[in-house]
Amino acid sequence: MVHPESIPSFLDLQNIQNIQPSPFSSIYEVDHLVLQILRDVSQEGRYTGPGCIQDELFQRFPAVFTFLCDIGRNPDTIPRLMEHKRHIQHVNTQLRAYAATHDVITLRDMEQLVQAELPGSFTLLGPIESLPTVLEICQTRRLDSRVIEAFRRGHIPSRLCMTNEEVLELLYDCVCKTDSVFQAV
């Protein structure tokens, strides 16, 4: 179940042509705006896919589009956005490989994997439960709000915050107890 990335919807070329000359002098200023938007969108609890980020960028700062046109760059070639796409691809590959090699996988496992793969910038991807690859692995379009709430409790122990090792240990204990009950009868 693949979730396609949204395409920026704000590009109203009629209004963009009426914008004053661009206040930007370098692509690094646009990079800084992209990083700011990545932080904002991830703090809102949304997935920070490239389409979403471009959409937000052009909604908040329409002059960016004219600046990119003036310097002859495609919006897909903004350095920070390209790096973000590489991070997403890397994390998606690691998550799929992990899911393929483990019989039991939990949200906590996937979150720990993402944190290990991108120690300095894992929060820029958004919450683990919003990543399309995680939803695909869980075979759902979205996780129930109660599951997300139970997973996000933080310091309060929750069954949904377990790792695969803890799940397997509980299964082992359950099987061993059940087996000993049958032997006693």
Per-residue pLDDT averaged across 142-150, rounded? 79
Is pLDDT of 119 > 60?
yes
Give CA–CA dist 89/72, Å, rounded. Answer: 26
Region of residue 139 (phi > 0: left; psi between -120 and 50: alpha; otherwise: beta): left
Task: Determine if the pTM surpasses 0.85.
Answer: no
**pLDDT tens-digit profile of 66-116?**
899 889 999 999 999 999 999 999 999 999 999 999 888 888 889 999 999
Give the closest residue to 126 by CA, choosing from 101, 152, 147, 156: 152
